[in-house]
Structure 1
Amino acid sequence: MTATSTAPPAEPPPVVVDPRTLAPYFPPTTGASWDTIAGARLGFDTAALTAALDWAGTQRSTAVVVLWRGRIVAERYWSGWTPAKDSIIASASKSVLSAIAGELARSGQLALDSAATRYLGSGWSRSPGTEVRITVRHLMGMMSGLNDSLQTVVQPGTRFYYNNPGYYQLFGVVQAASGESINVLSRRVLFDRIGMSGSTWFPNVDTGELGWILSSTARDMARFGLLALNRGRWNGVAVLADSAWFAASWRATPPDNAGYGLLWWLNGSTSYRIPGPYRLPSQPGALIPSAPADLVAALGKGDKKIYVVPSLELVVVRHGEEADASGGNPLAVSTFDEQWWRKLKLAFRY
């Protein structure tokens, strides 16, 4: 009888987990580990994503991070940057202060509709007859009615004017409300709780007014974007306990600017106003036409960007110098935003 041999049974093909079944991921608050996921698993066009990242690298970018449900889909660095390198994020830090103010409001330490004089005392502006009617919410919505000299131009609450000296008063407000310095307060309620160890506030002066400006790593920017994406929750823990705060801060606040909330920029409206004179007219259309309508963004001078897209569960961060595609010296949204999202749209296939 001739012996015969049989081949071992073939191993079953590897199981590919449907990424839609993956729970949201949050990186550890200490250390450098951070889970990744391939864009191809998400149905992204990886060639288009690579092209978008390559283009960003030609635009004086120093770092780009893309997260999906908290996992890193793409991360690139240029000009000697690393994940540990931090630098000023300009007005993108306004959205960080918004979150901190929201937590103080939730805890009852800060009343948004109270006059700013409650926390700053009288004489903080150069319009003593008007300042008693300027609320904390007015300052956060860039509708204080003040100009860069803190003098009244229009009545509070009636017009949008992107006013850094007025915004800087919010640091005095939150420090008085909490009884803590801005760095101690930020570490206690936010930074330490989500691992933003590479972020620090530094003094900054704009047209004579002292305020603070944040220096962050690209990964810290991504951490903050991830917290916002999850409406203040981090790995099941309510860091900013009032999730309604994000809904409120992502709602158009100034009566004449549908593209601005409480220190956040909003996409998807039929018009918006950009930083500029009080008489600057509204621009027709969405802030970034090629981006998803539900995109919200922390935007800073020099094309510092934290984009949050709830519908796609994405956070996209860009750090660097002012992009070559920007032209001029944009304080917030620039032509870079639209050009980049035209490329990202091809990658994310929405």
Structure 2
Amino acid sequence: MRAAVGQEKLPEAAPETCGLDGDKLEAMREVLTPWGIKSVLVVKNGRKAWEWHEAGQDRQGSIYSCTKSVLSALIGIAVDNGYIDNVERPIGDYLELGELPENGSRSAHRITIRHLLTMKSGFDWPDFDKPYNQMKKADDWVRYVLDRPVVHEPGEAFTYNSGGSHLLSAILTKTTGQSTLAFAMDKLFGPLGIRRVRWNAGQGVQEGGTGLYMTAADLAKFGLLYARKGVWEGRRIVSADWVAQSTVASTKGLLHYKPPIYGCYGYHWWVSAEQPEEVPDYFFAFGFGGQYLAVAPEEELVAVIRKGLAGRNKAILSRRLLHEYIFAALIGSRRTIPASQSSNEESSPASQAKDVTVRDGKAVRIVQQSVPRA
């Protein structure tokens, strides 16, 4: 039986009725074009409060590695529905033993679904995801990933690896008996009222690390689902436990990368753990070049930022937009981020950082400490 289709469009409201300062949001317009921004959409309390699109309307476009966070939700739905027993299951339980590397370390047999979700599989995957380009030229993408040497014990070291994301898509396809896209339309997109998406595939498996095309509004709806702990229009789509596990830091990830465009890492979600007090706690999906889906659950605020590609580090401009304008527009407990503080963010550490102690899949301890400015 096919899932019911949810409401297609988000309701709209003036920023002030949602607890946002409209003037602060309007001030964004001065920097959007100079910063190479393509779209901005802000949702507060379930209502579309502000949006801007360079093209004049919201168009479907690549969300790049934000795809990973959507895939994470689908893995969670598969676990909730019994297609996958739990994330501690070795990948060899779902990918036939013959598909595991013959000349690799025995530790490949100990790689679990959790290890793939947290980017701690141990596969050799250097130069910040560079092998992904070679994978897409291979005759068999899954085989290419599985044939990579295992150079770290699974669970030991974080290495950003879109090939591991592709294995998750292959596991989802095998366990559900549907393509990842078909499963998504049935269990996630359909209930959210998302009716038109495009998702690239290789050898019959949707790309796990990227390849999904959505409108900004549809991506915002996905973020709002997570802000509401997995419930949409009164219906449970993904368990609250999965949402919570996915969006807590399982590893430091790229917390100390400069400029600070990343953060800690959960289950294919980034977790912000370095921020001034004016910024609410949030987690985010991140795509190459500065594509952000940011979710601040305590504020029930979701922001989508799409940016033209201009190199990885220029993504700091999207992050500045999020911090200096969107979060600064929150009325009440938050105060405006001083311009003198935020203007140097690209070249300096934040005025305060959080030291995170994590173990794979365990609780996170965050201790506040001051960080001197460069």
Partner of 1:276: none
Q: Deviations over 1:322-341 (max 9, x none)?
A: 36xxxx4259x645313541
Residue type matched to 1:304 in 2? Q
Q: Is the 8 A contact 2:18 2:45 kept in 1?
A: no
Equivalent of 2:92 in 117, 135, 146: 117
Q: CA RMSD in A?
A: 2.5
Cα distance, 1:72 vs. partner?
0.7
Question: Given residue 28 of structure 2, which amino acid in structure 1 is its aligned partner?
Answer: A
Q: Quote the residue 1:34 is aligned against.
A: 10
| Pair 292,210 (structure 1): closer, same or farther in 2 beyond 3 Å | closer
Bigger mean CA offset, 160-169 vs 39-48: 39-48
Moved more, 149-158 or 64-73: 149-158
Q: In structure 1, what residue type is equivalent to 2:120?
A: M
Q: Is the 8 A contact 1:143 1:159 kept in 2?
A: yes
Check conservation: 1:159, 1:255, Cα contact below 8 A.
no
Structure 2 CA distance, aligned partners of 1:212 and 1:195?
Answer: 22
Q: What is the deviation of 1:60?
A: 2.1
* Number of the residue aligned with 1:264: 269
Q: In the alignment, which of 45, 48, 73 is matched to residue 99 of structure 1? A: 73
Query: SS at 2:319's partner residue?
Result: helix
The aligned amino acid for 2:87 is L
Q: Is it true that 1:66 corresponds to 2:42 in the alignment?
A: yes
Count of aligned pairs between the two proteins: 293
- The code of the aligned residue for 1:131 comes to A
Match of 1:46, as an amino acid? Answer: G
Query: Match of 2:43, as an amino acid?
Result: L
- Aligned mates of 2:186, 2:242 — CA distance in 1: 18
What amino acid does structure 1 have at the position aligned with 2:289?
G
Matched, 1:347 2:329: yes
Match status 1:231 vs 2:229: yes
The residue aligned with 2:104 is 127
Gaps of 5+ in 2: 126-130, 132-147, 256-263, 335-374
Give the conservation status (yes or no) of the 8 Å contact 2:226–2:243.
yes
| Equivalences for residues 1-350 of structure 1 within 5 A | 29=6, 33-78=9-54, 80-83=55-58, 85-110=59-84, 111-122=86-97, 123-125=99-101, 127=104, 129-148=106-125, 150-203=148-201, 213-240=211-238, 242-254=239-251, 259-267=264-272, 269=273, 286=274, 288-289=275-276, 292-322=279-309, 328-330=311-313, 334-349=316-331, 350=334
2:67–2:210 contact (8 Å) kept in structure 1: no
Q: Specify the alignment match of 2:128 in structure 1.
A: none
Equivalence for 1:25: none
Report how far residue 212 of structure 1 moved.
5.5
Q: Deviations over 1:34-55 (max 9, x none)?
A: 3211112344322211112442
Q: CA deviation at 1:200?
A: 2.3
Change in CA separation of 1:290 and 1:221 when aligned onto 2, cut-off 3 Å? farther
TM-score by length of 1: 0.77
User: What is the CA-CA distance between 1:227 and the residue it aligns to?
Assistant: 0.8
Equivalent position SS for 1:130: helix
Q: What is the identity, as a one-letter code, of the residue corresponding to 2:248?
A: R
Q: What is the aligned-residue identity percentage?
A: 28
Q: Show CA shifts across 1:262-301 (max 9, x none).
A: 000101x3xxxxxxxxxxxxxxxx1x54773420101110
Give, in angstroms, the shift of residue 218 of structure 1: 0.6
SS in 2 for 1:37: coil
Pair member with larger Rg: 1
- Structure 1 distance, partners of 2:48, 2:11, is 6
How far is 1:235 from its partner? 0.8
Distance 1:68 1:309, change over 3 A: same
Q: How far, CA to CA, are the matches of 2:276 and 2:87 in structure 1?
A: 32
CA separation of 1:43/1:223 partners in 2, compared to 1, >3 Å: closer, same or farther? closer
Q: 1:348–1:76: structure 2 CA closer, same or farther, 3 Å change rule?
A: same
- Contact 2:18–2:49 under 8 Å retained in 1: no
Cα contact 1:95–1:298 (8 A) shared by 2:
yes
C-alpha separation between the residues in 2 aligned to 1:329 and 1:112? 31
Q: Which runs of 5+ in 1 are unaligned?
A: 1-27, 270-285
Q: From the superposition, tell whether residues 289 and 174 of structure 1 become closer, same or farther in structure 2 (CA, over 3 Å).
A: farther
> Residue 220 of structure 2 contacts residue 303 of structure 2 at CA under 8 Å; is this kept in 1?
yes
